[in-house]
Amino acid sequence: MNATTYKLEAAQHAVRHVASGMVVGLGHGSTVLLAIRLLAHRLNNGHIRNIRAVPCSSFIAEEAHQGCSTSYERKLAWISR
């Protein structure tokens, strides 16, 4: 397995623990970008709802916003630092 596979597995494991109504901290790095995509998928499929995200930096917030579809942005509330 390569580093990308390990990162994807870590992101999948973390996202499985996210439940509706939770506040989720978005850390820094490539693994969190994978987790954001997985969270978007779960939100758009209706598996979870009302997630609030706290990005660790303006960079991660910007990356998350750029990587999110319009429907995802409507479902994910952002908490400013």
Per-residue pLDDT of the chain (81 residues; tens, 9 = 90+): 899 999 999 999 999 999 999 999 999 889 999 998 898 888 878 898 888 888 888 888 877 776 555 444 555 665 554
Cα distances from 53 to residues 3, 67, 76, 79, in angstroms, run 26, 14, 7, 6
- Tens of pLDDT along 49-70? 888 888 888 888 877 776 555 4
What is the SS3 assignment for 34? helix
- CATH assignment at residue 48: 3.40.50.1360
Distance CA 8, CA 20 (A): 22
The domain of 28 spans 3-78
Provide the number of structural domains found in the chain: 1
What one-letter code names the amino acid at 16? R
